[in-house]
Amino acid sequence: MPTTIPESLTDGEIRLRPWRDEDADAQLAGFADPVFRRFSDGVPLDRADVVKRIRAVERQRAEGTAAYWAIDDAHDGRLLGEVSLSGIDHRQGRASVGYWLTASARGRGVATRAVRLAARSAFTDLGLARLELTCAPDNAASQAVAERSGFRREGLLRAHLPFKGGRRDSLVYGLLPEDLAR
């Protein structure tokens, strides 16, 4: 079974590539966005933490347990956001998908494109059998990305995670190779 996580993927409109230390300021700006903060907890707050995160996720890529890609505009190289495969479990044939976009990159299908590229790679390059995605029940934009990419809503995980001092429910979505939208 193929197990290599590609460093770079493109569909001609966007390009996925590894994060680099020099992206720290742009990543920090992405984490400061109010929509991002509304749906995230425990986000790195300063540049040093962001550099640590970039190095940690690159170690996970080298170990084969996760792939966090920066999303660039394929035409001008502008940073648009991030898409990730995390918790890659080759024995179980599963991984989780995550994504965020900078405010100016939203509203034109970039996240959907990025999820499709990452999912296709997960099924073909890594040979995984199932991808999972969880999101807040009030995160309509994220649910729309999941559904446009072919994910099916499978249920509600009650009190799924610690969140901003309490616990939060999550919707759970699943994607099988045959669900992947063209």
Ligand X SMILES: CC(C)(COP(=O)(O)OP(=O)(O)OC[C@H]1O[C@@H](n2cnc3c(N)ncnc32)[C@H](O)[C@@H]1OP(=O)(O)O)[C@@H](O)C(=O)NCCC(=O)NCCS
Q: For residue 180, count other CB atoms closer than 10 A to its CB.
A: 18
The stretch among 52-60, 64-72, 122-130, 134-142 that binds ligand X (CB under 6 A) is 134-142
CA nearest 158: which of 166, 167, 169? 169
Residue 107 C-beta: closest distance to ligand X, Å: 5
Q: Which residue is nearest to ligand X (CB)?
A: 109
Q: Is 121 or 170 the residue whose CB approaches ligand X more closely?
A: 170
Kindly give the residue spans of alpha helices, DSSP state H, lying in 10-159: 24-32, 34-38, 47-63, 110-124, 140-148
Under the binding rule (CB under 6 A), the answer on residue 99 touching ligand X is yes
Look at residues 182, 38, 57 and name the one whose alpha carbon lies nearest to residue 119.
182
- The dihedral over CA atoms of 25, 29, 30, 36, expressed in degrees to the nearest 10, equals 150
Nearer to ligand X, 43 or 90 (CB): 43
The only residue of 109, 125, 130, 177 in contact with ligand X, by rule CB under 6 A: 109
List 70's β-bridge partners, or say none: 17, 82
Choose one: 86-94, 120-128, 138-146, 152-160; the region binding ligand X (CB under 6 A): 138-146
Rounded to the nearest angstrom, the gap between the alpha carbon of residue 157 and the centroid of all alpha carbons in its chain is: 19
* Shortest Cβ 10–ligand X spacing (Å): 16
Residue 86 lies near ligand X (rule: CB under 6 A): no
The half-sphere exposure of 138 on its side-chain side, counting CA atoms within 13 A, is 5
By CB under 6 A, is residue 108 in contact with ligand X?
A: yes
Binder among 16, 101, 131, 180 for ligand X (CB under 6 A): 101
Mark the segment that binds ligand X (CB under 6 A) among 15-23, 41-49, 67-75, 141-149: 141-149
